[in-house]
Amino acid sequence: MSAEPGPWRVDDFVRAQTSLAENTLAAYGTDVRLFADWVSRLRIDDPSGVTRTVVRRYVAALSTRDYARRSIARKAASLRRYFAWAVAEGLVDADPTAGLQVKGGDGRLPRVLDRRELDHLLDGPAATDEPEWRRRRDDAVLEILYGAGVRVSELTSLQLDQLHVDDGYLTVWGKGSKERRVPLGEPAAAALRAWLAIRSEAAPPEAGGSVFVNERGKPLTPRDARRILDRRALSPTHPHALRHTFATHLLDGGADLRAVQELLGHADVATTQRYTHVSRERLRAAYMETHPRA
């Protein structure tokens, strides 16, 4: 594919971002093009004309246009990534986004499932008309999401050669194509063995080595995983809530923060640290509900 005409070379930038989801790449391209269009009104036609002041004016302008904080933070992150690439490519001499920090999100704590919700998800009664293969597959999917704390994308991309069930672990490929080993508890291992015993009934040869398949015999997708939660959960639940619950329960049980960071595959311990706030809230609630002097 030829290089994109023009000084911004957005297509080249997007192609250089390897191991990222397609929707993330599309967002990067859209965000940089939106910025390039905005600065063109300031008679800046290439990235070398962008200064720190221009970048900050842009972020301020986004705020006045009623963008959500999360959206503004994402656009700022896109620009940081773009200008880091532009420096490496020699398009600019210095990074105008250096030191730019935009807080995203609304400060909400991750949702943690309570015991009743978990029990229903993991041990709830099967629907009378549910095929056995689907019941076993769903059991394994849910046990791994909670028991190993993997991302839903890591689960749906699992291949048979990544399973080490008898040794009690999985290898998964996380963000940035980083491989890590995650422990597999006995309930998850048992559910996985039960599924693998009949996997061939649902997985045609063209499914290759994909561990999980959908009703059409194709590799399971994140959307398919969400449908599994929709069928089994007591209330609307996102698959990522099981990962939040995994991390919080480890910290509640006294696990070391760095160990939880490794298990989750977080590059920065600050990302893991937000779960400590969840645990503190849970401990405070337990104290208020149970201590006679609370």
Question: Among residues of the chain, what percentage have pLDDT more than 90?
Answer: 60
- Residue 1: the pLDDT is 38
Which residue among 151, 199, 232, 249 is the active-site one? 151
- Residue 251: partners with Cβ closer than 8 Å, 6 or more residues away: 257, 260, 275, 276, 278, 279
Per annotation, catalytic residue among 9, 137, 243, 244: 243
266 is catalytic: yes
pLDDT band at 124, cuts 50/70/90?
confident
pLDDT score recorded for residue 147: 94
Token pair recorded at residue 258: 């760095």
From the list 15, 111, 175, 181, the catalytic residue is 175
With bands split at pLDDT 50, 70 and 90, how would you rate the model's confidence at 283?
Answer: confident
**Does the structure show a pLDDT above 70 at 108?**
no
151 is catalytic: yes
pLDDT higher at 286 or 166? 166
Between 258 and 284, name the one with better pLDDT. 258
Say what the pLDDT of residue 42 is: 94
Quick check: is 240 catalytic?
yes
> pLDDT tens digit string along 157-215?
999 999 999 999 999 988 777 889 999 999 999 999 999 999 999 999 999 999 999 99
Q: Which residue has the higher pLDDT, 40 or 109?
A: 40
Q: Please report the pLDDT score of residue 2 as a whole number.
A: 39
* Active-site hit among 181, 238, 240, 277: 240
Is residue 154's pLDDT more than 60?
yes
The confidence score (pLDDT) of residue 289 equals: 77
DSSP assignment of 46-100 equals SGGG--HHHHHHHHHHHHHTT--HHHHHHHHHHHHHHHHHHHHHTS-SS-TTTT-
Walk me through the domains of the chain, giving residue ranges and CATH numbers: 10-89 (no CATH), 115-288 (1.10.443.10)
Q: Is the model's pLDDT at 284 over the cut of 50? A: yes
Q: Does the annotation count 275 as an active-site position?
A: yes
Q: With bands split at pLDDT 50, 70 and 90, how would you rate the model's confidence at 273?
A: confident
Q: What pLDDT, in 10s, does the model give residues 15-52?
A: 998 877 788 888 999 999 999 999 999 999 999 999 99
Choosing from 238, 266, 277, 282, the catalytic residue is: 266
pLDDT for 286: 72
Tell me whether residue 274 is one of the annotated catalytic residues.
no
Which value, to the nearest 10 degrees, does the dihedral of the CA atoms of residues 143, 24, 267, 112 take?
A: -40
- pLDDT at residue 107, as a whole number: 53
Task: Decide if pLDDT at 149 tops 90.
Answer: yes
